[in-house]
Structure 1
Amino acid sequence: MPMRIIETVWITLSDGCRLAARMWLPDAPGPVPAILEYLPYRRRDRHRGDDAILHPALAEAGYAAVRVDMRGAGDSDGLMNDEYTPQEWSDACEVIAWIAAQPWCAGAVGMIGISWSGFNALQIAALRPPALKAIVTACSTDDRYADDMHYMGGVLLNDNLQYGATLFTWTPTPPDPDIVGDGWRDIWLERLQAMDQPPPARWMRHAVRDDYWRSGSVCEDYAAVQVPVLAVGGWADGYTNTVLRLLENLPGPRKGLIGPWGHAFPHIATPGPQIDFIGYVTRWFDHWLKGERTGIMDEPMLTCWMQEAEPARARYPARRGRWVAERRWPAESPGARILHLAAGGLQPAASPPFAITVCSPATTGIASGEWCPYGWGPDMPGDQREDDAGSACFDGPVADTSLQILGRPIINIELAADRPQAMIAVRLNAVGPDGASIRITYGLLNLTQRNGHDRCEPLVPGGHYTVRLPLKAVAFELPAGFRLRVAVSTAYWPLAAPLPTRAVVTLYAGSVELPLRNDIIDPCAAPDLGAPRSPAPVPARVLVPPQRGRLRLVRDMDDGDTTLEVARNLGALMLEETGLRLDALGRETYRVNALDPLSASSEAVRSAGFQRGDWQARLEVTTRLSADHDGWRLESSLDAFDHDRAIFSRRWEDYFPFFPGARPGGEVS
């Protein structure tokens, strides 16, 4: 269908703030439904490539596609210094009302989004703006504390640092002078001055699941979300738990789709196979926004990729497996299979108590992969044997038939620790006949949050505790000839920021509950998801190729120091449509000594640059995390340059005690 593309449309809110939008309008004889994506990632440049694939395809399907930069982002007015705020949601409700009132709109609006825009699609749906009729949320979460890039099981993730550095770089970027005119520099300085604290510091001030995290977590009131929800995820992504929880808890029409993918829309995601996601989404919106009978709601509630065992690699072009489906979720199943931890391994019956100690080297976790892989670099979990060597391992018998796991395995462990604070990482692995160890799924638990993530209670050294740890949701078929392994460690570096002391944890008893799938009970065929359409790339010249993933591991054989180098570059592009050169470069360095976790440090460096003719603007950000025996130390810097002249510079130093009252912290400008 022919379309009209409008580069910039201004949406004026009730307080006078103007939001910049880009629109793709189909050449239709009358008004059409609209689909909104609403996020801060600069529609004019940084997100232009992704927008050029999704939104024209929606317009071709007969929708008005609207891409809006949030308040304070890109070319929009105003200020923004945090994610998922009431202001963000209020603005979005006004935007939806504005779209519905336009002469080219039929009055029905949908939302689509991935990551940030997937988060706020759920959050805005919970506010029930009248014109919003259905949403698609991908790679998002319904629980901001349990499943985001900050904490996992109450354990501080190093993604809090690296993503915080990324957000710190892009939040105060300048608007485009071609859009806002000569006042671009004043707007930029205002955004820079508004950065009162580094994002990682804000999130570390909320180390437990308090009101900050409950705000924007739709799990607090699933009933508030009444519109139909299509929830999408990937088994390699960091946010997979969300899909199954939404299917189980939302009151309205819903559908789930989980592939083998990393953090990307399924038509471009790796590992493959990719699908015709745009066609699938079109069928979803045709049903709910146009009232057409597409058959999508006659299909199973959950469609997912059942992963099959294959050699572990840091990067996969595609994952071995097949599509399976469940008519409803939770599905009818044979129930959980319970295996018990014993001195001799995993057993079907409870065994006498045992005492197995584990005090992992601080480098245990080197094969973890990223918390949130994107799939286009070496960021996936590798062979687990090295991490198994630093763990207490419990092996089951060799399977004589295949076993399908679908859902969240749960680990129950009775344990004690010799320190007031400790963490455990639990991995469920598949061990092949050759001894290779494949991570099926995993979970982390901060043992000071054993009684709930809303509190932090020091351990009594030597005291016995029983903890329950749900692992990440997964679909995996254990083949005959393989065995299951439960591996328990006290470190998971660098995915998790290491605690400064090596706690000794003693395990006394435990079990693993495996959610089994049986397609004989309620057989259900997976729908045909089709092959992806060939996207039309945005006209651009690649000046510096993008690069992402864990690139280099260096171990000093003399003193045992270990350094991991990570690339996080979008690269440098010349965008031909706007004549803009965009640079987006980043790297991280993680260091630790295997026997001295107090030596650990994490550093993230980011830069973003914009250049067109005489316009040259650049930001540089550095964040560094270290610890002493009492708490975390976060050092941050933000510098901005007009050409090569520094126009803004600020430094912060923050301290966060492990336990309240241990030591005061502060900020230095």
Structure 2
Amino acid sequence: MSDRAFTVIENQWITLKDGTRLAARIWMPDNAENDPVPAVFEFLPYRKRDGTSPRDESTYPVFAAAGIAGVRVDIRGSGESDGVIDGEYTKLELANACELIGWIAEQPWSNGSVGMMGISWGGFNSLQVAALRPPALKAVISIASTVDRFNDDIHYKNGTHLSAQLSWAATMLAYQSRSPDPELTGNRWKDMWLERLEKEPFFMEEWLEHQRRDDFWKHGSVSENFADIEIPVLVIAGWADGYRNTPIKAIEGLGPKAKAIIGPWVHKYPHFAWPKPRADFHGEAIRFWNRWLRGEQNGAETLPQVRAYLLEAIRPAPRREFDPGRWIAKDLWSKPEGAYLHVGATGALGFGKPTAAATRDVFLRSPLDTGTAAGEYFTLKPDVEMAIDQRSDDAGSLCFETAPLASDLDCLGMPVLTLKVKSEGELANLCARIVDVHPDGTAYRVAFGVLNLAHRKSNEFPEKLVPGEETEIRMELDACGYRFKPGHRIRLSLSTAYWPMILPPPSDPGLTIDTASIELSLPKLGEAQDVVVKEPDNPSPLPDYIEHEPGATRRSVTRDLSGNRTEYRIFEDTGLHEHPTTGLSTRQIRDERWTISPEDPLSMTGQSVWTCDMQRPGWFVRTISTARMICDADNWIIAGEVLAFDGEDQVFAKTFEKVVPRDLM
């Protein structure tokens, strides 16, 4: 890596062919017009001026010092960009991205080669844009993303309805309601803000119209045709995040052009993620970009196809600073062989495939508040956003356990569970969890999977269960990388509820499970080598902003025994922080509550409220955004509200209300 001087262009207007003006922040290596450079492009609705500025400032200066320009652009209707957002990963968004790539490649400072990068939204659209093959796009780094928008995103999971869908709708309502910065837009700021407030959609209205894997979700799911992507791709994720499946699915679909890194992390860039150990993302990325954007022969293409951190003996705790384990590598990925387990006649979990045996039926109907130890789908901190000790959830589950292990068992990949079930109802959910039980009883969730049984054969064409009829179920659980240690036990936990992560079906008939049919296949690591993955040189890469008021985080579960009602509450306050250069101070507060009666699926309620403040001396704006959900036997009933304040004056109010029929969910 060189140490080239660079300049930060705080705001660059880029005018699209349709006249829309988008706002970019650019880190430009000096003398680039005489010595053209490659560029890395990131395209997000999360506000370059404040929302992503800490992470942008941790990475793009390092790229620029290595002679790689960074171009961070706000999607229309966000930050300082004109217009109004029209949804997630829309055709317009992707077309704009292709146009921007062309613009970058044509600049006098550009060598004509562009990479695209991002985490989450930016990781999603990087893959989607790669599938459109804009000529100047030569490589992609996609972090914490998905190749399948229906099954591996924040909306639905194997036909179950994720509560995170409401959370995410509230988040986007809050983000898109925020004002541009007058320092960049001048007097236009208020007109731009009011236009957004008036025209922004409540995303959940559209998402709920598509409760099966139809064309809406196929759009942007690169798994529909992996062959559309012809350029090199580096896919990165963390075991503690909801997007843990993507690296393996991507390399299986894309083949040798894709490489994967999977660490112990939450939903963050690897150089500042938790739990530790971290990875030197800057070094990895610069080597990748130099190989594919400059043609530098640095051996990036010869790196192992998969590098993964194998966790071991994890103890769930209120906060996990460091997870024990080791880095391993597989030069070429192949589908793993299975280590098979079955449930014997005594109810114990044993190794080997099940033998022909008489049916051993057990009835299971979990309390509907089973799942409060699950953590969140979308994890940003290494605290109780991650799954905690599983013993409380296992109390409402059907559990099978091995004897203490005599030797290590190393696993990497996606476990598969097959079993036979029947129900007296037409709809039911099933959750399966693989748990590492420590000698002292501590129970750590290694992997889990959920399934709406109406989607047992197809997510596109679901079918109701036939009451009383036995059916065979196959569940592919989320990917894991784990070593089960000697003296530990492996537990399989089954439940018919996993609230609040997934929302219940309209009735609660329970399931009869033939325990003799249970077969669990754990993915054996197979041939691999231990490797060293370099940690970042800078242990604190994020910039320091001026703290005016500290933040706070709280998670709580309250069980009203007299009222027979459970509440799960999430409270997040970022605190008030000022950017030391721009003088802009921001704060976001999320207050989210879910409630349910353990015996009544129609009692479920959810509400997420966001309060977002922006201020400078003499200027203060606030938005309060609310998303709510209840249900009845036939419908999802949602509502939203946005209030906006300029100083003490309320300048805008809008409500959303919609009733959407349930679709076998």
Give TM-score, length-normalised by structure 1.
Answer: 0.95
Alignment of 1:186 with 2:188, yes or no, is no
Query: Does the CA contact (< 8 Å) of 1:142 and 1:218 recur in 2?
Result: yes
Name the amino acid aligned to 2:416. I
Q: Is contact 1:37–1:112 with CA below 8 Å preserved after alignment?
A: yes
Match of 1:27 in 2: 30
Cα shift readout 1:216-260 (whole Å, capped 9, x = no counterpart): 000011001111000000000111111001111115522100000
Q: Is the 8 A contact 2:256 2:305 kept in 1?
A: no
Distance in 1 separating the partners of 2:137 and 2:392: 50
| Match status 1:604 vs 2:612 | no
Over residues 410-435 of structure 1, what are the superposed CA-to-partner deviations in whole Å (9 max), with x where a residue is unaligned?
11121011222110111011222222
Partner of 1:232: 236
**1:459 paired residue number:** 465
Report the AA paired with residue 478 of structure 1. F
Which residue is equivalent to 1:447? Answer: 453
Does residue 95 (structure 1) correspond to residue 97 (structure 2)? The answer is no
User: How many angstroms does 1:141 deviate by?
Assistant: 0.3
Select between 322-331 and 345-354 the one with higher mean Cα deviation: 345-354
Residues 1:488 and 1:539: Cα distance change in structure 2 (over 3 Å): closer
Question: Can you list the C-alpha shifts for 1:5-44, whole angstroms capped at 9, x where unaligned?
Answer: 1111111111111111011111245111111111111111
The reply on whether 1:17 has 2:20 as its aligned counterpart is yes
**Partner-residue secondary structure (3-state), 1:250:** helix
**Given the superposition, is the C-alpha separation of residues 605 and 464 from structure 1 closer, same or farther in structure 2, using an over 3 Å criterion?**
same
**Aligned residue in 2 for 1:336:** 338
CA distance in 2, matches of 1:380, 1:251: 31
1:280-359 mapped onto 2 (5 Å cutoff): 280-330=284-334, 335-343=337-345, 344-347=347-350, 348=352, 349-350=354-355, 351-359=357-365
CA distance in 2 between partners of 1:360 and 1:132 (Å): 50
Compare 10-19 and 466-475 and name the one that shifted more.
10-19
- Measured after TM superposition, the shift of residue 83 of structure 1 is 0.9
Distance in 1 between residues matched to 2:161 and 2:538, nearest whole Å: 39
Alignment of 1:176-575 (within 5 A): 176-196=181-201, 198-251=202-255, 253-330=257-334, 335-343=337-345, 344-347=347-350, 348=352, 349-350=354-355, 351-508=357-514, 509-519=517-527, 523-535=528-540, 537-538=542-543, 540-548=545-553, 551-575=555-579
Instruction: Name the stretch that deviates more: 575-584 or 271-280.
Output: 575-584
Q: 8 Å contact 2:423–2:468 — kept in the other structure? A: yes
Report the counterpart of residue 665 of structure 1 in structure 2. none
Partner of 1:589: 593
Question: Counterparts of 1:337 and 1:589 in 2: how far apart (Å)?
Answer: 40
Distance in 2 (alpha carbons) for counterparts of 1:341 and 1:85 = 47
In structure 1, how many angstroms separate the alpha carbons of the residues matched to 2:167 and 2:500?
Answer: 12
Q: How does 1:618-657 map to 2 (within 5 A)?
A: 618-657=622-661
State the alpha-carbon separation in 1 of the partners of residues 320 and 411 from structure 2: 21
The equivalent residue for 1:36 is: 41
Quote the offset at 1:644 in angstroms.
2.3
**Structure 1 residue 297 displacement after superposition:** 2.1
| Stretch moving more, 409-418 or 571-580 | 571-580
Tell me how far apart the structure 1 counterparts of residues 217 and 151 of structure 2 sit (CA, whole Å).
9
> CA–CA distance in 1 between the matches of 2:163 and 2:457?
24
Cα distance in 2 for partners of 1:174, 1:528 equals 41
User: C-alpha distance in 2, partners of 1:288/1:438?
Assistant: 40
Of the three residues 173, 181, 184, the one matched with 2:178 is 173
In 1, Cα distance between equivalents of 2:191 and 2:118: 31
Q: Quick one: distance in 2 between partners of 1:11 and 1:377? A: 40
Q: Which residue of structure 2 aligns with residue 56 of structure 1?
A: 61
Residue type of the alignment partner of 2:606: S
- CA distance, structure 2, for counterparts of residue 79 and residue 528 of structure 1: 42
- Paired residue secondary structure (2:132): coil
- Please give the per-residue CA displacement for 1:535-585, whole angstroms capped at 9, x wherever unaligned: 55445212333344x522222233332222112333321222112121211
Shift of residue 458, structure 1, vs aligned partner: 2.2
- Would the aligned equivalents of 2:556 and 2:568 in 1 still touch at CA under 8 Å? yes
Check whether the contact 2:372–2:557 (CA below 8 A) recurs between aligned residues.
no
Matched, 1:8 2:16: no
SS in 1 for 2:118: strand
Q: Residue 189 of structure 2: SS of its match in structure 1?
A: helix
The answer to whether the 8 A contact 2:416-2:522 is kept is: yes
Distance between the aligned counterparts of 1:561 and 1:636, measured in 2? Answer: 24
What number of residue pairs does the alignment pair up?
654
* Aligned residues of 2:327 and 2:533 also touching (Cα < 8 A): no
SS at structure 2 position matched to 1:202? helix
In 1, Cα distance between equivalents of 2:326 and 2:578: 40
Q: Distance in 1 between matches of 2:382 and 2:578?
A: 21
- 1:70 maps onto 2:75 in alignment: yes
1:372-415, CA deviations, whole angstroms, 9 ceiling, x for partnerless residues? Answer: 21224321111111111111112223221110111000111210
Gaps of 5+ in 2: none
One-letter amino acid of the structure 1 residue matched with residue 124 of structure 2: F
CA pair 534-385 structure 1, distance change in 2 beyond 3 A? closer
More displaced 10-residue stretch of structure 1: 339-348 or 360-369: 339-348
Structure 1 unmatched ranges of 5 or more: 663-669
Q: 1:135 aligns with which of 140, 144, 157?
A: 140
Cα contact 1:314–1:381 (8 A) shared by 2: no
When structure 1 is superposed on structure 2, of 75-84 and 292-301 the one drifting more is: 292-301
CA 456–648 in structure 1, closer or farther in 2 if over 3 Å, else same: farther
> How big is the shift at 1:342?
4.1
Q: Percent identity?
A: 38
